[in-house]
Structure 1
Amino acid sequence: MWSECDAVLRDGGIVHLRPVTGDDEAALRALHEGLSPRAAYLRFFTAGRAAAAWYVDHLVRAPAPDHAALAALVGGRIVGVAGYERLDDPTGAEVAFAVEDAQQGCGLGTLLLEHLASYAREHGVRRFVAETLADNDMMMAVFTDAGFPVKRHHDGGTVDVSFPLVAGESLLTAQDHREGTADVRSLTALLRPASVVVVGASRRPRTVGHEVVRNLLASGFAGCLAVVNPHAGDADEIAGVRTYQSILDVPAPVDLAVLAVPAPAVTTAVEQCARLGVKGLVVLSAGFAEVGVQGAARERELLAAARRLGMRLVGPNCMGIANLAADVRLNATFAPNIPGGRGAPQPPGRVGFLSQSGGLGIALLEQASTLGLGVSTFVSVGNKADVSGNDLLMWWEQDPDTDVIALYLESFGNPRKFSRIARRVSRHTPIVAVKGGASAAGARAASSHTAAAASPAVQVSALFRQAGVIAVDGLGELFDVVTLLAHHRVGVGRRLAIVGNAGGPLILAADATAAAGLDLPELAEPTRRALADLLPAGAAVANPVDTIASVSGAAFEQALRIVLADDGIDAVLAVIAPTPLTGRDDLTAAVVAAAGSSTPLTAVVLGQAARVRTLTAPDSADSADSPDKAPSAAVPSFAVPEDAVRALSLAAAHTDWLRRPRGTVPIFDDIVPETARGIVDATLAARSAGGWLQSAAAAQLLAAYGIPVARSEHAASAQEAAAVAEHIDGPVVLKAANPDLVHKTDLGGVRLDLATPADVADAFRSMQAQLGEAMGGAVVQAMVAPGVETLVGIVQDPAFGPLVGFGLGGVLTDLLADRAFRLVPLTDRDAAELVRAVRGSTLLFGFRGSPPCDVAAVEDILLRVARLADDLPEVVEMDMNPLIVHERGAVAVDVKIRLAPVPEIPDPTLRRLR
């Protein structure tokens, strides 16, 4: 649903959007009276002000179904307004805007249109119309650039505009582009500041503010730096930097303020920083939401002040930010060691790091430094009151200095938006993420198989898989993959060749390769012949290649070069075991010398101390500082084969994701959403808390979306059940009709293969005796021909939105728990992968001589279910179990649907700050 919010404008400024109230009359009159004559004429088609006064009277009317208006405020002052008036056809409305001259060109009109359209959709408006002067180019740009399918009709000097309020892909794509542009602009003061003030720095070393100052100096920050310490004297310095007693004494302007003052003093400091023109805040101070109710209130006060004053905020309770680009050199953290910082053993790198944990962030930087992974940008988001992972992904999307993104996340503010941004970013910059707090321990109790299986870990896995994010299990694996990708920006494929000097490690590497789903193809015949000519007798030249222990460094290098040139190989793993015959240093030098081809080369050096490190030539450090020397190749090196192969497998999976077709969300012209909406609304009107639908209503709802359900009839008595069975050819099924009975088979609520009406009557009486009033009558249904029993389901998550599940059905559902999930919207490629993601999917493709099933019918049903889930968020749980799949077609024979009121959560597609 729509709710008032803050958003970012094209110039990076922050605007607050809220409904117009009667108290806004004076402010709205001031807005319209302040319009330039040209702007007023374009808005009201007249140079007079009477039309504006009449319009303000309409805007401030009490809320009513026939009109609505939103106000845009910057710094607490109304600078724009958008409203609509319903037409005679209540599904249409006429829309109009007014934006003060100083704010025109900042994207405010388009932002107001997006939000007003969302508000209108919720209130039954399906179409906007507007009339504008033909020479009002700015207003026409608002309509045409928004992404709606606009129709224009010229009538003399005016243009009539109309467009449906469809939230289609073109609209979302246009919104994404505008959001990225605005967000990056708003973060510039944080990550590319020209001047920094550190507030609360002490003279004492090893205090937070003092260490930030020292790190800024050590990093060689390219801009102006000032320090504020209330206890400073007139000419005091901290680490050689001029110190002021008050923020208000610092010469303006200042881009970035780093606050290390006690929590109760932070909001006052923020208000003082605004007078310096500060647009970016990093709040290191603790004592906010992490400490309880009082701290949470203090954090809300801090965020409100920052938004009102037009500032973006990192933190609070964080360890700082860094951007080590050559023209910035910003290290505004209190971390003791940041890789790529001034005096670090390696130059700035190309990895962007985000950590939601400060302590873990320090550990990340320490490990990155140990591995030789330089950092492009590092952000410790802390409590994440404002700037989040979504913001940073948009920054890294346009950052030429970042080639790999590494995330440690504990929560998602807007996971649906994260998914859209990550899908886009992953296409050109790999994202490696470890998610804390995703265990099933936090899962809610659920009444259906689908909901019970959709734990937080399942939801996060579905999000990462669809968005192309490389999900890793823990920090060790995070660094494995990041190190690999930092050196292998060319896609890593699944065809792996292994070259080593000892048989045992090669066997372990080959076993790990098979377990990870990679291929070990036989090398091409010319490759094997060249290796046989090079290596001594006894060497194995197929794949893996065993050079034997006595191989020289020169021969090992040449063997690697030969294998790297094989067109049938996507990546090469060199496995080095220490032997008394050839020095390990000679072999590692051979690996580095062989690197540099288009085929990725990775190493395993048994006995190395670090889990993963980077192999370079001895003079690589010198060459990095010398413009006359080309930098030596660098090769990621692992301590054990299993870690190397796992990292290669994850990289290969990402390559697969990049190469797959993107897929499309299909449009169905045979569905009747209005029918389904009527069933949902009528049910919730009768039962406000919701509940399980009766089987007949559930079947009708699915039929509205073209989903086949086996025909069934309700019977209240044994006699009625027998009478229904008489009109059905062949055997029938009798099921308890009470929708609240979840596991009917376990309770004796299902009787199969009843041949005669008498058998049906007997089964009814027997079931009634066993279940009593809980039976709720019965459903009589024709027996469906045998096939593969599957499950298709829905579960709604307030944050992630709807998930669609698929797996084996019937009695195998709980026995094997073979299920997979994808988030909505579901593309045709997502549906195809969802079917094939379960282990038992082989049953659908013809198993041990059985005929193949109609998999296309299953995929079609999944796509229709996804559309249903998106259209009807009140469907909080659904199970079609079993959905029986035949050679031709599929049919659901048992359906359970639970409805509940939609929680009031913000529209996840809109541009808005958290």
Structure 2
Amino acid sequence: MYPVNLKAATIAGLTAFSSVTAIPNAVDLAVIVVPRDAVLPVLNDCASKGIRSVIVISSGFAETGLEGKQAQDRLLEAVRQQGMRMIGPNCFGLLNTDPAIHLNATFTSAFPPSGRMAMATQSGALGIAILAAAHRLQLGVSSFVSVGNKADISTNDLLQYWEDDPSTDIILLYLESFGNPRRFARIARRVARRKPIVAIKSGRGLAGRRAASSHTAALASSEVAVDTLFQQSGVIRADTLHELFALARGLSDQPLPKGKRVGIITNAGGPAILCTDACETGGLSVPELSKATTTALSSFLPPAASVKNPVDLIASASPDHYTHAITTLLASKEIDALIVLYISVTFGDAAGIANGILRGISTARQAGGTNIPIYICWMAEGDLERTFQTAGETIPTFPFPEHPAVVLSKAFRYEAWRAQPLGMIPDFDDIDFGTARAICAQALSREGPGWLTVEDTRALLASTKLPLAQGGVARTEDQVAALACDLGFPVAVKLASHQILHKTEMGGVHLNLADEQTVRNAFAAIRARLAQENKLDAMEGVLVQPMLSGGVEVMIGVTHDPLFGPLIAFGLGGIHVEILGDVRFRITPLTDRDASEMVREIKGSRLLQGYRGHPAADVEAIEEVLLRLSRLVEEIPEISELDLNPIFALPPGQGCRIVDARIRVEKSSPAV
């Protein structure tokens, strides 16, 4: 280690040098902590010395405004010209617990124990708190990096490093922003197949809902995009720092659950109810136990005990009761995970209970119950900091009954994600991208950013081979009547206007018109209402369509997030979509697995499967629409918003029909 300082002869007992170039030996890493304007000259000295790795802790760069951003740009340019790599600026530093390295290039004294968790944070101040918590909780860390402004090395780079790091089994992230979220998704999806990634993303309340005129954009927000990105990439999202560490303990110390059946052992009813509620809220089940298992439990428990699940040993539970209950449940093959609760309800022997729990776990593990995760909720007055270890195994311990259930539910969802195939991105070679691109380009050239006309919208969707309902645009009363007769009654007549989006509010929708005269009357009524509102110039004509019967109304939409790229939405359709909010999102490109999950995740999915005598819907046809739209908006980023609502999903084998559609185009660059 070589301290560099203009004035000091020694620092902390080490010989100091007046400049980097004065150091006589080779240097692997430079940690720069000088005023902002001195950073670039020091970095150039490092380059002259042959140092290729630097950590810039100094602040005053992009986080301070335009002048700082310009200084950071100059710094990054020098880094790249010299073939260097840089962490920072405005960071807290780097820490590596490998005994062969034992590097603490931070200014924390809370050096955590060596372990197999890697951590990265964008907040330097929070980094101090994270390391202090890891030290206090004795969470083993392999390496820690504060990325600061991420001018050069980013979280994406660290994920790729930790992916192959033999010292790292789990990755923890504190994120405030994404530089390139689509690249993050690609990397995280690959890494999470091998190692759990747990992330906490701050700023949930800052995004809000942006002003938007389409249903999809009104439902989407940057926070929705973050949740969607994590879900698709297999990243486990923690809601709080406490949960981040709880997940770290659970994932690093126990196997992942192979199913969602949870057994609960308790000595009090209240905590067990809270734990059960949290399990079911998180998508887990607390199943009934078999007759054989309840009989086995009854053989050693007092008559007042409950041998149902949760198994309530009652307040007088002894260490042996816990031991035998644990071994019985773990041997039953009826659960995929076990949560053991203990609360001080009497002046009993907490230490004895702890030993009884450990005996049960040890015995069950020796008998072959090695693949079932076990969590403990320990609420023993005066003994809250107890740790549970047996035969080299650490059992995660939590202070409240909901905590292990939350950790277990997220661990289960992660394992379920990891067990699923990655999915395929279909390549539809029948999509006419040339025509679709030309329609968008001509509209932008003709009118600039805005909504496409009804005719352009239908032509663009037809080029994508999407299932449009029959129909056409008519501009005169006679054309409307002729088109209706050709299509066959009953028909719908709807205002065609790219300026008036919500047609119902303007009296622009007339349904179930049974003859020519009612069609003519509808056309006249629409013109009269628009004239009354001084909006007749916005009328392009009317769209005439045959009435559809049967099927389930659904909606599919797209909104283009400036950072995340296109988000596709799916939900039940009609006018209630924004009120109900029963919508699922995915970031493009969609795989066949994404499309299938979207359709099945909404609360109203039972309507698509057939409900109370109503026929099921053609789910495969819906999924194909999702996948074709994904290809379309990936290929043509000028599509900034799109709504297909409603789509009539007909019975299986009959496909679906897009009844209403609107598309907005803007000049755009594709997300990378």
If the TM-score is normalised by the length of the shorter chain, which range does it land in? over 0.9
Task: Report matched runs for 1:54-453 at 5 Å.
Answer: 225-233=1-9, 236=10, 238-340=11-113, 348-439=114-205, 441=207, 443-453=209-219
Which residue does the alignment assign to 1:163?
Answer: none
Aligned partner of 1:851 among 615, 624, 629? 615
- Does residue 863 (structure 1) correspond to residue 623 (structure 2)? The answer is no
CA contact (8 A) 2:344 2:381 kept: no
Work out the CA distance in 2 between the residues paired with 1:385 and 1:666. 36
CA contact (8 A) 1:663 1:828 kept: yes
Aligned partner of 2:394 among 631, 634, 651? 634
Specify the code of the residue in structure 2 equivalent to 1:232.
A
**Alignment CA distance shift 1:407-1:492 (3 Å):** farther
- Does residue 713 (structure 1) correspond to residue 472 (structure 2)? The answer is yes
Once the two structures are superposed, residues 110-158 of structure 1 have per-residue CA deviations (whole angstroms, 9 ceiling, x without a partner) of: xxxxxxxxxxxxxxxxxxxxxxxxxxxxxxxxxxxxxxxxxxxxxxxxx
Specify the code of the residue in structure 1 equivalent to 2:387.
L
Work out the CA distance in 2 between the residues paired with 1:297 and 1:830. 41
Task: Report matched runs for 1:718-757 at 5 Å.
Answer: 718-757=477-516
Work out the CA distance in 1 between the residues paired with 2:320 and 2:623. 55
Work out the CA distance in 1 between the residues paired with 2:168 and 2:386. 19
Which residue does the alignment assign to 1:896?
Answer: 662
Which residue does the alignment assign to 1:760?
Answer: 519
The 10-residue stretch of structure 1 (546-555 or 318-327) with the greater mean CA deviation from structure 2: 546-555
CA contact (8 A) 2:218 2:578 kept: no
**Alignment CA distance shift 1:669-1:776 (3 Å):** closer
Q: SS in structure 1 opposite 2:487?
A: coil
Residue 873 of structure 1 and its aligned partner are, at CA, apart by 1.1
CA contact (8 A) 1:440 1:456 kept: no
Once the two structures are superposed, residues 623-654 of structure 1 have per-residue CA deviations (whole angstroms, 9 ceiling, x without a partner) of: xxxxxxx63x3111112111221111111110
Report how many aligned residue pairs link the two structures: 658
- Does residue 828 (structure 1) correspond to residue 572 (structure 2)? The answer is no
Task: Report matched runs for 1:648-667 at 5 Å.
Answer: 648-667=408-427
Aligned partner of 1:569 among 328, 335, 338? 335
CA contact (8 A) 2:207 2:223 kept: no
**Alignment CA distance shift 1:810-1:614 (3 Å):** farther
Specify the code of the residue in structure 1 equivalent to 2:268.
A
**Alignment CA distance shift 1:828-1:283 (3 Å):** same
Aligned partner of 2:546 among 766, 774, 782? 782
Which residue does the alignment assign to 1:841?
Answer: 605
What root-mean-square deviation, in Å, do the aligned CA atoms of Structure 1 and Structure 2 show? 1.9
Which residue does the alignment assign to 1:616?
Answer: 388
Which residue does the alignment assign to 1:678?
Answer: 438
Aligned partner of 1:512 among 257, 266, 278? 278
Once the two structures are superposed, residues 391-437 of structure 1 have per-residue CA deviations (whole angstroms, 9 ceiling, x without a partner) of: 11001101111111111101111111111111111111100111112
- Does residue 545 (structure 1) correspond to residue 311 (structure 2)? The answer is yes
**Alignment CA distance shift 1:267-1:594 (3 Å):** farther
Work out the CA distance in 1 between the residues paired with 2:292 and 2:98. 46
CA contact (8 A) 2:257 2:337 kept: no
Work out the CA distance in 2 between the residues paired with 1:286 and 1:241. 26
Work out the CA distance in 2 between the residues paired with 1:825 and 1:692. 23
Which residue does the alignment assign to 1:114?
Answer: none
Aligned partner of 2:457 among 698, 701, 706? 698
Once the two structures are superposed, residues 295-351 of structure 1 have per-residue CA deviations (whole angstroms, 9 ceiling, x without a partner) of: 1111111111111111111111111111111221111111231311xxxxxxx1111
Q: SS in structure 1 opposite 2:34?
A: coil
Q: SS in structure 2 opposite 1:228?
A: coil
Unpaired segments ≥5 residues, structure 1: 1-224, 341-347, 621-629, 909-914
Q: SS in structure 2 opposite 1:588?
A: helix
Q: SS in structure 1 opposite 2:387?
A: strand
CA contact (8 A) 1:438 1:460 kept: no
More contact order relative to length (CA 8 Å, sep ≥ 6): 2
- Does residue 882 (structure 1) correspond to residue 646 (structure 2)? The answer is yes
Aligned partner of 2:253 among 482, 487, 504? 487
Residue 804 of structure 1 and its aligned partner are, at CA, apart by 1.1
Which residue does the alignment assign to 2:356?
Answer: 590
Specify the code of the residue in structure 2 equivalent to 1:824.
T
Once the two structures are superposed, residues 815-870 of structure 1 have per-residue CA deviations (whole angstroms, 9 ceiling, x without a partner) of: 21211110111111110101112111221111222111111111111111111111
- Does residue 813 (structure 1) correspond to residue 577 (structure 2)? The answer is yes
CA contact (8 A) 1:802 1:823 kept: yes
CA contact (8 A) 1:372 1:614 kept: no
Task: Report matched runs for 1:12-51 at 5 Å.
Answer: none
Residue 516 of structure 1 and its aligned partner are, at CA, apart by 2.0
Work out the CA distance in 2 between the residues paired with 1:736 and 1:680. 22
CA contact (8 A) 1:692 1:740 kept: yes
Work out the CA distance in 2 between the residues paired with 1:389 and 1:594. 42
Unpaired segments ≥5 residues, structure 2: none
Work out the CA distance in 2 between the residues paired with 1:475 and 1:749. 52
Q: SS in structure 2 opposite 1:227?
A: coil
Which residue does the alignment assign to 2:407?
Answer: 647
CA contact (8 A) 2:255 2:372 kept: no
